[in-house]
Amino acid sequence: MDKVTIWAPAKLNLTLDVKGKRPDGYHELETIMQAISLKDKITIDKANTIIVNSNSSQLSNDANNLAYYAAELFFQETGKKAGVNIYIEKNIPIGAGLAGGSSNAAAVLLGLNHLYQTKLSLKDLAELALEIGSDVPFCIFNRTALARGRGEILSPLPKGHTLNFLLVKPNFSVATKDVFGQLDLDKIKKRPNNEAFIKAWRDMDLDKMAFEMINVLETVTVSLYPEIGLIKQRLLELGAVNAVMSGSGPSVFALFRDEDKLKIAYNYMVSDYDEAYIVSSYFGSE
Ligand code: C5P
């Protein structure tokens, strides 16, 4: 086998709470993560060095690209004297709070393990993944999960229900490091109750799930970029049960009970935002 193709889905943070700052500088998270149908396609084939190409002019092709960095780390850890030719068909918006880069990195680790028959377990790959970034371990499994610690302590939720979302990415990007850097834990007034969310998830109680869809990082990102607040407002006016920012932003996703309302809302939003998408929960394969 010389060539492998892997799907790399985006993720949403259905809830996101920050419990505190850790001595290592990271923050202690409690977030429910869900992979979605918006995905990149990663093709890798054997080569002598690491080469990255993509259909996006915004992506770098060196170690600043997490896919490149993942390959470098993989060869370093496994001691394989080899390389890989990586092609990224980019569909996930960049710098969006959707873990696009993390998902690409996870796909490269999974693909290389397959291509070079290195037989690392998913647990081994998840450990390697954490060296790349806090969201990367989730992307190894892509199972709906409550993530704690930096994001690597994953407790899967029972096999899920397919939810439909309208996702809107405004025309700017946000650096995660800056958002966490400006987070003031004393300013957080509303936090998600993850236990209540998980109960609602089990019961498929859309209203209760929507009620707990809260992201405490909005206290930073929405203050910096009021447009995010306006997008949330518009989505609610268009009939969403709730609309919330994903990760450190700036993407906003809205949960709809009614598919027709979702389509109408999409038609409105896409006239102002190039990067508006109807997406659904993703549980693997195609
Ligand atoms: O782990 P990753 O490199 O993706 O994180 C990017 C930045 O986000 C970190 O440098 C850190 O500032 C912040 N972060 C954090 N706590 C987390 C995850 C990320 O403070 N649990």
Regarding the beta carbon of 4 and ligand 1, being less than 6 Å apart is answered no
Residues comprising the chain, all counted: 286
| Cis-peptide, bond into residue 158, ω within 30° of zero | no
**204 CA to centre of ligand 1 in angstroms:** 31
Among 50, 5, 13, residue whose Cα is nearest residue 29: 13
Question: How many CB atoms lie under 10 A from the CB of residue 158?
Answer: 9
Active site (annotated) includes residue 41: no
Alpha carbons 129 and 73: distance in angstroms, whole number: 9
CB 132 within 8 A of CB 66: yes
pLDDT (tens, 9 = 90+) of the chain, 286 residues, equals: 789 999 999 999 999 999 999 999 999 999 999 999 999 999 999 999 999 999 999 999 999 999 999 999 999 999 999 999 999 999 999 999 999 999 999 999 999 999 999 999 999 999 999 999 999 999 999 999 999 999 999 999 998 789 999 999 999 999 999 999 999 999 999 999 999 999 999 999 999 999 999 999 999 999 999 999 999 999 999 999 999 999 999 999 999 999 999 999 999 999 999 999 999 999 886 5
Alpha carbons 193 and 197: distance in angstroms, whole number: 6
Question: How many CB atoms lie under 10 A from the CB of residue 236?
Answer: 13
